[in-house]
Amino acid sequence: MKEEEKEILRYLKYCWETNVYLRKYPLKDWEDAYYKGKVLFFSWKNKNFFRLNKDFKFYPLGTFFNEKILVLGYPHIPRIYVLKTGLKRYLKYPFYAEEKIEGYNVRLVKVDDEILAFTRRGYVCAFATDRWEDFLPELPRFFEENPDLVVCAEVAGPENPFVSEYPSYIKEDINFFVFDFMKKGEGEFLNVSKKLELLKKYRLNSPEIQGPFDPEKDYQKIKELLKRYHLEKREGVVFKPDYEGNRVKYVTPFSNLEDLRVVFPYLGEIDPYFVSLRLIRLALNLYEFEEFKEEVYSVLGKNLFEETLENFKTERLLQETFRVRFKKESNFHAMLAHFRIAKVSIEVKKTEWKNGYFCVEFSKIYPKATQFWKSKLEGWGEID
């Protein structure tokens, strides 16, 4: 065993001895998980952490910890396909409908003297860590007064480094939308009523929240809300009970059409099931929202094929261009280091300081998708 690995295991043991939440399971179980690649060590500047690369016991993928903190991974939420039956099956009165924002999920937590943003998979997000203070200025006071809570937020907008889809009402840069407060070490969420109090007290931006609703009485109101969200080009909703009960999500026909438009040119990088699943969702959208049939019929083919057909005319590598702005140049380099670890191919096109921000334009290159289409255009066959 290399000395570096011995040192990591010594640190894991120290975390287990110091952090009461880890002692829910024997040290040997944690060590076995490390050997199997379920528990991975990483550093952010002068801070050390472990993150779960896979589910482990009670703790889900994306959980991260060190000797002082443990924050559970954000749980996967079931998706319903038909509102009328799904609401009755999963929800009881009272529940709320919270806008589902098209972006990426971070958990913000104070670690020693610094507020860090962690991604769904448990990495430190250099971009969100760099930018939160522009949008959530009351966060330091929040953590001083609520040291046992984690802030769950969506980062969304045209200038984010990960997701090419975003809400149509954000015209430039990004914003943070706080959608949950989680208890450290436990993963339990505050109920909606308490959440609304904290959002107001600390002036934290949040998604649109409607309710409370009754699944038996308010189906038509909820259907009208989703109809409006589709027309306003919004992703959908997450239904959240005020107290105990299930959380479920539902997305609009618009969201499914946009997913297909964005991802179809990059087949080869993703599982084809991504496409078929959105087609299934669309069919069930139209079962309940027949008024959108003609729109979907006219847009679906264009969304699937137009960009892909244009790509066939060129021989360039398939790529997406992103533009972002940082307060600190060092955090941009930290983001690049993360991309290298994640094996994402990046080409930086342009950098400049402008209006107090380090502005960057870069492309993500997709060699697998390029080869996927190239081989077919060159006449190669396959057995299907």
Q: Could you confirm whether domain 319-365 is CATH 3.30.565.10?
A: no
pLDDT at 120 over 70: yes
Across the range 293-321, mean pLDDT stands at: 92
Q: What is the pLDDT of residue 368?
A: 92
Q: Classify domain 83-251 at the CATH topology level.
A: D-amino Acid Aminotransferase; Chain A, domain 1 (3.30.470)
How would DSSP label each residue in 118-129? EETTS-B-HHHH
Whether the predicted pLDDT of 315 surpasses 90: no
Confidence tier at 19 by pLDDT (50, 70, 90): very high
Per-residue pLDDT band for 1 (boundaries 50, 70, 90) equals low
Using CA atoms, how far apart are residues 333 and 331, in angstroms rounded to an integer? 5
Q: Are 357 and 254 in contact (CB under 8 A)?
A: no
pLDDT tens by residue, 128-175: 999 999 999 999 999 999 999 999 999 999 999 999 999 999 999 999
> From its phi and psi, is residue 64 left (phi > 0), alpha (psi between -120 and 50) or beta?
beta
- Residue of 46, 43, 53, 48 lying closest to 19 (CA atoms): 48
Residue 272's pLDDT band (cuts 50, 70, 90) = confident
Q: How far apart are the first and last CA of the chain?
A: 45
Tell me the sheet residues that pair with 352.
359
Q: What is the sign of the dihedral through the CA atoms of 302, 308, 309 and 310? A: positive
The backbone torsions φ and ψ at residue 76, rounded to the nearest 5 degrees and listed phi first, read -75, 135
Cis omega before residue 94 (within 30°)? Answer: yes
Has residue 244 got a pLDDT over 90? no
DSSP 291-335: GGHHHHHHHHHHHHHHHHHHHHT--SPPEEEEEEEES-HHHHHHH
Residue 64 to residue 296: CA distance in whole angstroms: 41
Q: Decide if pLDDT at 243 tops 90.
A: no
Answer yes or no: is pLDDT of 264 > 80: yes
Q: Residue 109: name the closest of 78, 69, 73 by CA.
A: 69
Using pLDDT thresholds of 50, 70 and 90, give the confidence band for residue 178. Answer: very high
Q: How far apart are CA 63 and CA 106, in angstroms?
A: 12
Q: What is the mean pLDDT of residues 263-282?
A: 93
Report whether 47 contacts 112 (CB < 8 A). Answer: yes
DSSP assignment of 250-295: EE-HHHHHHHHHHHGGGBTTB-THHHHHHHHHHHHHHHH-GGGHHH
378 confidence band (pLDDT: 50, 70, 90): confident
Query: Residue 265 pLDDT > 80, yes or no?
Result: yes
Average pLDDT for residues 74-86, to the nearest whole number? 94
Residue 64 pLDDT level (bands cut at 50, 70, 90): very high
Domain ranges of the chain: 3-68, 83-251, 253-301, 319-365
How large a percentage of the chain has pLDDT more than 70?
100
Mean pLDDT of the chain: 95
Record the tokens describing residue 270, joined without a space: 């993703």
Answer whether 190's CB lies under 8 Å from 198's CB: yes
**In this predicted structure, what is the pLDDT of residue 271?**
87
The token duo for 82 is 């038909």
pTM: 0.94
Question: Number of C-alpha atoms within 13 angstroms, CB side, residue 66?
Answer: 14
Q: 279 — phi, psi (to 5°)?
A: -65, -40
CB atoms within 10 A of CB 54: 14
pLDDT at 62 over 80: yes
Q: How far is CA 32 from the centre of its chain?
A: 29
CA distances, 203 to each of 114, 177, 282, 288 (Å): 20, 11, 37, 37
Residue 2: predicted pLDDT: 82
